[in-house]
A and B are shown apart, each in its own frame.
Chain A
């Protein structure tokens, strides 16, 4: 079945550091890929998405590129802020037979 594997956390960075959170997937066909973020005490929010190979999703300085050849969708940000501290979830979905499937999440803590 479809699955998502995320890099284990937690990740602790200093403000303005570069962030990468790895995500790889296993799926039949051509799913859409998503990154969701969950801030402390809040619900899940969509951060960015990509619907086909080589698409780049971007939002709030975060980026991720849909790489079909490596089945990856790594999340990156060039300069993190304290306010980026949250849990990040990679997910795949889309298509009539796909349920939305999540990775286990990566806790990011950014220190001033």
Chain B
């Protein structure tokens, strides 16, 4: 059990560019979450998967955001045409089952300049 791994840890990008983040959950964890956290705020839900099925996507999430979990293992989060307001920490978490605790990765800090 190596924990939830996120890559990259830091990303600086110019406004308008596309970025993609990767999350490797704990092995055999069926549920995977993506959150966004800005300074001084709690994690804001973005989307979550049960195996490869995306169960819900936040209404706050614009069409520029898309997430996939193609084989029910790792997941990617893509942001197209980044804006300065996208600057935040993007957190991934996984859980063995829906009613068990989630384990978080260290996050990817995105800075859009």
Interface residues of A, Cβ cutoff 8 Å to B: 32, 34, 36, 42-46, 49, 51, 89, 93-96, 98-105
Contacts and interface: CB of A to CB of B under 8 A. Distances in A.
B99 A51 contact: yes
B101 A46 contact: yes
Contacts of A99: 33, 45, 48, 55-56
Interface in B65-83: none
A93 B3 CA distance: 20
A100 B104 contact: no
B6 to A, nearest CB: 9
Given A89-B43, A93-B98, A93-B99, A43 B106 contact: yes
Given A45-B104, A46-B103, 13 more contacts: A32-B99, A43-B107, A44-B43, A44-B104, A46-B101, A89-B42, A93-B95, A94-B98, A94-B100, A96-B50, A99-B56, A100-B45, A101-B45
Which A-B residue pairs are the 4 nearest by beta carbons?
Answer: A94-B99, A44-B104, A102-B42, A104-B42
A2 B105 CA distance: 24
Contacts of B101: 32, 34, 46, 49
Contacts of A51: 99
Contacts of B105: 43
Most B CB within 10 A of own CB, among A42, A45, A93, A99: A99
Contact of A100 (B33, B40, B106, B107): B33
B62 interface: no
A105 B41 contact: yes
B19 interface: no
